[in-house]
Amino acid sequence: MTDALKLGFSPFAGPAKGVLVVFCDDGLEFGSATQRALGAASETVARAAAAERFTGKKNSTLELVVPPGLRATRLVVIGVGKIAELKPIDFIRLGGFSAGKLPGAASDATVFAELPGGAMKPEQAASLAQGVRLRAYAFDRYKTKRKDDERPPKTRNVTIAVDDVAAIRKAYVPRSAITDGVLLARDLVNEPANVLYPEEFARRTLALKKLRVAVEVLDVRAMKKLGMNALLGVGQGSSHQSRVVVMRWNGGRAGEAPVAFIGKGVCFDTGGISIKPAASMEDMKGDMAGAACVVGLMHALAARKARVNAVGLIGLVENMPDGNAQRPGDIVKSMSGQTIEIINTDAEGRLVLADVIWYAAQRFKPKFMIDLATLTGAIIVALGQEYAGMFSNNNQLAERLSKAGLETGELVWRMPLAPEYDKMIDSKFADMKNTGGSRWGGAITAAQFIKRFVDDKTPWAHVDIAGTGFDSRQTDINKSWGSGWGVRLLNRLVEDSYER
């Protein structure tokens, strides 16, 4: 994990060195501790604000270099708009926004967790700190050549100044666990496929054992025995062997059915024999973002000791064209016993999910199942990069996911399932085919395919993250290609459903 950031908490008192970040509202009001810290510099701030017509609007900044009377070398005043309108998620964003205002070379910074109305509450200050870390993440482990002036400091000390250090440290513990999970997921998505192939991905999940997650790795032999031929067919053209990883966290009542999370882990998707065009094919190293999210989530749940029983299962394969690769027209028998005619070897994610979802349901009888997958380009056509597509056989689960989305900013939009779409994947030769006849409604026919491997009594949701898992919109809290999308969403779903 690239974490050159050293985050700490300290009381408001004491002169800040380096960069000082403070907040004001749209009336240019500051909190009392902030005013004390600014001291005589307040007057300079007022003059600079007037000169630059800075009014403290949300997401506006006023910067002063070497502000007179302060030990700080730079003062950044950030407007937060109207205090009454700030929602919990805004504090994470504010942390990200603040971190984004630190100059690249700065090695010390202090952020005042105070608003005009008073010190931020522990939850708010902890969110602020979380936002700083999410923003500061950069995947730069393969950069060996940097000009001196581009080189970031080895460590960057960011101090969050607060009123009650102990209370905020406590509130930050679970936030830090969740953030670690997000950054872990980002790292996995960002890794190139020559480094992160199925076996290596599986090996990295073993680190979860330190957090008391039980980790099992199924190899090809074990999968053959189980009859996971849909998954194995996808991986058979690769020189890298396929794997399934099962992760279990038991933080809930003993014997209580778990919730299950299932991730598509196509470490690289060339399309197989139905090969993809060259343009942007390099992005397909991120076709394991669903699996990365599940691993990041398991990390988050275990590290914060969530009071829930949860299982995470990921199907890890590489989709390659080769003499041994699966062909269009091939028919495979899935673990469920249903047969599938392969029409397009590039519709591989659903084949992987079919077996892993079936296996998860049989083995764990979960309370609900949620799968995550960078499944279709069609979902990007439908929703762009703002919302992930969500499909569900259960209204309560769908509503909970939508709500968690609004709370975390990881938005999901519910898409339809219906028999009319299901018909489109009936096959002449087998029980079903792996693509619909046309590209229209491609995200829906993919979801319908997966639904055939879910029994109607298990609440299930499928989240298509092709538009959000990587190369997604850059935000105040994410400047990384691999976004780690979904870790905060699903963590929140667990919190809201089982821990309140």
Which residue in 42, 339, 344, 458 binds ligand BES (CB under 6 A)? 344
Half-sphere exposure of 236 (CA within 13 A, CB side): 20
Please state the separation of Cα 17 from the chain's center in Å. 33
Which residue in 187, 287, 318, 371 binds Zn ion (CB under 5 A)? 287
The span from the CA of 149 to the CA of 152, in Å, is 8
Q: Does 348 bind ligand BES (CB under 6 A)?
A: yes
Name beta bridge partners: 108. Answer: 157
Q: DSSP string spanning 77-99? A: EEE---GGG--HHHHHHHHHHHH
Half-sphere exposure of 176 (CA within 13 A, CB side): 11
Q: Does 100 bind ligand BES (CB under 6 A)?
A: no
Selected catalytic residue, list 350, 400, 451, 488: 350
Shortest Å distance, C-beta 344 to Mn ion: 8
Which lies closer to ligand BES via its Cβ, residue 334 or residue 435? Answer: 435
Which lies closer to Zn ion via its Cβ, residue 89 or residue 281? Answer: 281
Which lies closer to ligand BES via its Cβ, residue 371 or residue 476? Answer: 371
Q: Is 350 known to be catalytic? A: yes
Q: Does 347 bind ligand BES (CB under 6 A)?
A: yes
Q: Does 316 bind Zn ion (CB under 5 A)?
A: no
Which lies closer to Zn ion via its Cβ, residue 183 or residue 234? Answer: 234
Shortest Å distance, C-beta 464 to ligand BES: 9
Q: Does 181 bind Zn ion (CB under 5 A)?
A: no
Which residue in 393, 435, 448, 480 binds ligand BES (CB under 6 A)? 435
Selected catalytic residue, list 276, 333, 403, 414: 276
Q: Does 466 bind Zn ion (CB under 5 A)?
A: no
Instruction: Check if the beta carbon of residue 178 is closer than 8 Å to that of residue 491.
Output: yes
Shortest Å distance, C-beta 192 to ligand BES: 16
Q: Is 414 known to be catalytic? A: no
* Chain positions contacting Mn ion, by CB under 5 A: 269, 346, 348
Which lies closer to Zn ion via its Cβ, residue 223 or residue 288? Answer: 288
- Of all residues in the shown chain, the one whose CB is closest to Zn ion is 269
Q: Does 266 bind Zn ion (CB under 5 A)?
A: yes
Give the closest residue to 460 by CA, choosing from 379, 413, 401, 375.
401
Instruction: Check if the beta carbon of residue 362 is closer than 8 Å to that of residue 245.
Output: no
The interface partner of residue 466, options being Zn ion, Mn ion, ligand BES, none and the CB cut-off 5 to 8 Å by kind, is ligand BES
Contacts of 489-493 spanning 24+ positions with Cβ under 8 A: 489/401, 489/404, 489/405, 489/408, 489/410, 489/412, 490/261, 490/293, 490/297, 490/370, 490/404, 491/178, 491/181, 491/297, 491/300, 491/301, 491/306, 492/404, 492/407, 492/408, 493/370, 493/400, 493/401, 493/404
Shortest Å distance, C-beta 339 to ligand BES: 19
Q: Does 346 bind ligand BES (CB under 6 A)?
A: yes
Q: Does 108 bind Zn ion (CB under 5 A)?
A: no
81, two tokens: 């708009």
- The residue with tokens 């408001």 is 12
Catalytic residues: 276, 350
The residues that touch Zn ion, with contacts defined as CB under 5 A, are: 266, 269, 287, 349
